[in-house]
Amino acid sequence: MLFFFLLSLNGLVFFAQSSVRHVEVKKNIHDEYRLFVDQQEFYVKGVGGSDHLDVAATIGANTIRTWSTDDARAVLDNAQKHGLMVMMGLWVQHERHGFDYDDDAKVKNQLEQFRKVVLEIKDHPALLLWGVGNEVDLFYTNTKVWNAVQDIAKMIHEVDPHHPTTTVTAGLDPLEVELIKKNAPDIDIYSVNTYGGIGEVRKNIRSYGWTGPYLITEWGPNGHWEVAKTPWGAPIEQTSSDKAFVYQDRYQKEILGDAAYCMGSFVFLWGHKQETTSTWYGMFDESGRTSEAIDVLHEAWSPATFKNHAPRMEYLLINQLSANQAPAVWADDEVNVKCNWVDVDLDVKKVIWNVIPESSDIKAGGDAEAAPMPIQGLWKKRGDFDATFRAPHVPGAYRVFVQINDAQNHYAYANIPFEVKARTAHMPMPRWINLKTWNDGNWKE
């Protein structure tokens, strides 16, 4: 009986160990760097985020990326349920958030906290690799952070022989490449978050001294810091269709285009968030509708399962002016907006218009921002292709947003910034203002 118990226990131990996936970096028969999972070549078709995993699996993704180990086991379990693997992020603290890398006790404590979580989840079969820090170089001055990254990566290699390590920089800079090579030799893969600069990565990474493999761990449309701005400083955002073209072009040219060294990528953002605007980076709306950029990935990763297109957004104008023409209006004046969209599947259900103040809570590095709320009571007419509204009474910077929803849970969108100028004393009141309400000081907005 005791023998049978021990045999059963040994069997359970063997089962647990055999569920571990062995991941390594090596070259394939074409002399291209690739990850290999249990000896099978694995090219990363990744999404940045842990939501909407059913959609990720449907379009042909094979990996998700997290930035921290929050709810790590639940994330891993959910990924495994959907046939996906995980680049598990370890949130190495940032100097810009107040962490001091001269404080040895805090650095050691951070390392030990990571040791605990690595030991806890290292054998999960959905684990692909470890992401040791994300953009710790953003606005930093103390390069000791790379020594901390090395200590974490070395610890991982000591306790987990099955999964490689990477660290992620904000863009690509020769100084960071040199520091990582010198101070963090236990980093197996270089990872880059890049937007408008993605075209420079494959050209520069080897000239900067990194001769091994790399991943593009965030990529998408041009960042809000990389685009043209209006005279009042509002960044001009591309439409959902303009972004879809960018996703397609950059994936084909800059990611697949460097097959020898680039082992794949993680598109950003697989979800929805407020960052400069509510639409800039997210590939989903708040309700989980999917944008045209996801169509692009679907056609690249799993074309046989592609069925229905998102609507296509062509343009959005204010008083016949584009965003590059810096539309400005007088407070309380009538304003006309016009858009054009196309839906090849003919299943559009709803067109939504909103006027929203320009965000005043702009952060850096993806830090959480508060979303401004739409202004109520402005609209005189809202149609499928045009609308009319009263300009806000309070001068300042605003945007018109339009969203097109179809019957298959897709959407298209555009927004256009505009400036509201204060009325001068000699200007007559617009005809639609109730003068009594105005004079009583009861104006509501």
pLDDT of residue 141: 97
322 and 299 in a common domain? no
pLDDT beyond 80 at 319:
yes
Does the residue 7 lie in any domain? no
134 and 183 in a common domain? yes
Does the residue 6 lie in any domain? no
Does the residue 12 lie in any domain? no
Q: What digits encode the pLDDT tens for the residues 342-396?
A: 999 999 999 999 999 999 988 888 889 999 999 999 999 999 999 999 999 999 9
pLDDT beyond 80 at 7:
no
pLDDT of residue 432: 64
Domain boundary among 257, 273, 305: 305
26 and 117 in a common domain? yes
Average pLDDT over residues 333-339: 97
Domain boundary among 262, 283, 305: 305
229 and 325 in a common domain? no
356 and 276 in a common domain? no
Residue-wise burial string across 146-184, b where 16 or more C-beta atoms lie within 10 A, e elsewhere: bebbbbbbebbeeebeebbbbbbbbbbeeebbebbbebb
- Provide the percentage of residues in the chain whose pLDDT is more than 70: 93
Domain boundary among 263, 286, 305: 305
pLDDT beyond 90 at 31:
yes
Q: H/E/C letters for each residue in 86-106? A: EEEEECCCCHHHCCCCCCHHH
> pLDDT band at residue 425, thresholds of 50, 70 and 90?
confident
Burial of 319 (0-12, 13-18, 19+ CB in 10 A): middle
205: helix, strand or coil? coil
Which residue in the block uniquely carries the two structure tokens 């997210």? Answer: 282
Phi, psi torsion values for 239, nearest 5 degrees: -70, 165
Q: Are strands 63-65 and 85-90 parallel, antiparallel or unpaired?
A: parallel
pLDDT of residue 426: 81
405 and 283 in a common domain? no
Average pLDDT over residues 434-438: 47
pLDDT beyond 50 at 326:
yes
pLDDT of residue 434: 55
Does the residue 388 lie in any domain? yes
Q: What digits encode the pLDDT tens for the residues 69-87?
A: 999 999 999 999 999 999 9
161 and 236 in a common domain? yes
Q: Tell me which of 178-192, 336-350, 414-428 is least confident.
A: 414-428
Q: What digits encode the pLDDT tens for the residues 410-422?
A: 999 999 999 999 9
pLDDT of residue 97: 95
pLDDT of residue 139: 94
Does the residue 10 lie in any domain? no
pLDDT beyond 80 at 322:
yes
252 and 343 in a common domain? no
322 and 293 in a common domain? no
CATH of residue 221's domain is 3.20.20.80
> pLDDT band at residue 18, thresholds of 50, 70 and 90?
very low
- Total count of domains within the chain: 2
pLDDT of residue 439: 42
- Domain with 371 in it: 312-439
Does the residue 1 lie in any domain? no
pTM of the model: 0.91
> DSSP letters along 259-318, please?
TTTEEEEEES-SS---BSBSSSS-SB-TT--B-HHHHHHHHHH-GGG---PPPEEEEEEE
249 and 218 in a common domain? yes
171 and 90 in a common domain? yes
Average pLDDT over residues 271-287: 96
Please check whether residue 445 is in contact with residue 379, taking contact to mean a CB–CB distance below 8 angstroms: no
- What is the pLDDT of the chain when averaged over all its residues? 93
CATH of residue 431's domain is 2.60.40.10
> pLDDT band at residue 431, thresholds of 50, 70 and 90?
low
